[in-house]
């Protein structure tokens, strides 16, 4: 049995959980200067405020890359969910999902926040729509919009599941790897990936066994050209991951095995490059266990 306990004692760096509880109004996705985040207390009035009177309700003219069917339904829903509308004028509850099914471009995704806010103000259900919204935002190349909506629970009232946060983590990690030589922009995307994972306690979502997200964050941090800061994040996240595995039967389905193997390979390569053979050996052992495992693997302290 691999002694994973030693891994938790040897690693150092940040813990993913320390990136939780972000003030929604401060999750501003700025340009090259980056973005900011502030600590948020659970009793902060910003979480419970219902003052959404600043929502834009004026129908829009189509920008480029917005289809006519999408725009027609968008403007109809925007008009029929204004604060002055009567109950008999409200749209069917399924129409927001119908609109999301029409999304194909990032420009269409960027039009969604005012409508989602109005929809929430009318207290229409959003539970079944959150996954579709996150999915279409990531697919269309606009995960920032889903991140913005999830960052303000009071205004948008989305109800994400672990797989929704996982989709955001993967989308931002992919963007971090695709930025190229712009180190600042790449680090900004990596920050968003960690912060998306850090939204879990904000919604009381359990991602403690989301090995796909852990593996993706580790591999991206180690390989993405982020220097020692990236390596610090990779080893710190690996430490937290291993601590979460000890004493459990780790399920390796739904891409978890592949993500964990990718992370183990990245850690082995990083430790070998730094001449830290002891740590490299431990992650080689973890890699071997993963390679031999089928659907699960049992992890003990030693």
Domain extents for the chain?
1-19+183-302, 21-160
Residue 301 has pLDDT above 50, yes or no: yes
Q: What is the pLDDT of residue 3?
A: 40
| φ/ψ bin of 299: left (φ > 0), alpha (ψ from -120 to 50), beta (otherwise) | beta
Lowest-confidence pick of 21-35, 42-56, 269-283: 21-35
Two tokens, residue 225: 């050209």
- 3-class state of residue 97 by DSSP: helix
Does residue 208 register a pLDDT over 90? no
* Residue 89 DSSP class: G
Residues β-bridged to residue 36: 27
Q: What percent of the chain has pLDDT over 70?
A: 77
Phi-psi region of 68 (alpha: psi -120 to 50; beta: other; left: phi over 0): alpha
Task: Quote the pLDDT of residue 237.
Answer: 97
Alpha helices (H) along 81-139: 95-101, 106-109, 112-121, 127-139
Distances (CA, A) of 30 to 143, 189, 192, 243: 14, 11, 12, 35
Confidence of residue 84 (pLDDT cuts 50, 70, 90): confident
Mean pLDDT of 102-125: 91
pLDDT band at residue 109, thresholds of 50, 70 and 90? very high
Q: Which pair of structure tokens corresponds to residue 221?
A: 């941090």
Q: By CB neighbour count within 10 A (0-12 exposed, 13-18 middle, 19+ buried), where does 263 fall?
A: buried
User: 59: pLDDT confidence band, cut at 50, 70 and 90?
Assistant: low
Predicted confidence band of residue 173 (pLDDT cuts 50, 70, 90): very high
pLDDT band at residue 121, thresholds of 50, 70 and 90? confident
On the question of pLDDT at 129 being above 70, the answer is yes
Dihedral of the CA atoms 254, 260, 262, 267 (nearest 10)? 170
Q: Give the whole-angstrom CA distance, residue 237 versus residue 219.
A: 10
Q: Would you say residue 101 has pLDDT above 50?
A: yes
**Considering only 22-31, 53-62, 163-172, which range has the smallest mean pLDDT?**
22-31
Is 273's pLDDT higher than 60? yes
Separation of alpha carbons 195 and 37, rounded Å: 9
pLDDT of residue 49: 47
Compute the distance between CA of residue 160 and CA of residue 150 in angstroms, rounded to an integer.
Answer: 8
Contacts of 191 (CB under 8 A, 6+ apart): 34, 35
């Amino acid at each position: 049995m691999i002694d994973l306990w030693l891994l938790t004692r040897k690693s150092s760096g940040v813990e993913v959980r320390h990136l939780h509880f972000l003030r929604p109004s401060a999750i501003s996705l700025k340009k090259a200067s980056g973005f900011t985040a502030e600590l948020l207390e659970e009793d902060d009035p910003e979480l419970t405020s219902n003052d959404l009177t600043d929502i834009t309700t004026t129908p829009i003219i189509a920008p480029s890359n917005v289809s006519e069917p999408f725009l027609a339904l968008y403007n109809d829903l925007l008009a029929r969910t204004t604060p002055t509308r009567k109950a008999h004028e409200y749209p069917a509850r399924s129409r927001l999902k119908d609109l999301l099914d029409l999304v194909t471009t990032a420009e269409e995704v960027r039009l969604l926040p005012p409508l989602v806010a109005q929809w929430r103000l009318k207290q229409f259900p959003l539970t079944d729509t959150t996954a579709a919204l996150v999915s279409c935002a990531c697919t269309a190349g606009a995960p920032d919009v889903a991140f913005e909506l999830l960052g303000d629970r009071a205004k948008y009232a989305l109800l994400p599941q672990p797989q929704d946060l996982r989709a955001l983590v993967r989308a931002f990690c992919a963007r971090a790897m695709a930025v190229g030589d712009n180190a600042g922009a790449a680090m900004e995307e990596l920050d968003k990936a960690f912060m998306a994972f850090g939204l879990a306690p904000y919604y009381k979502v359990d991602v403690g066994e989301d090995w796909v997200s852990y593996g993706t964050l580790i591999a991206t941090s180690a390989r993405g050209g982020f220097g020692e800061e990236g390596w610090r994040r990779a080893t710190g996240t690996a430490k937290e991951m291993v601590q979460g595995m000890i004493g459990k039967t780790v399920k390796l389905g739904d891409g978890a095995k592949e993500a964990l193997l990718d992370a183990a390979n990245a850690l082995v390569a990083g430790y070998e490059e730094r001449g830290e053979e002891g740590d490299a050996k431990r992650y080689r052992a973890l890699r071997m266990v993963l390679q031999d495992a089928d659907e699960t693997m049992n992890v003990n302290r030693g």
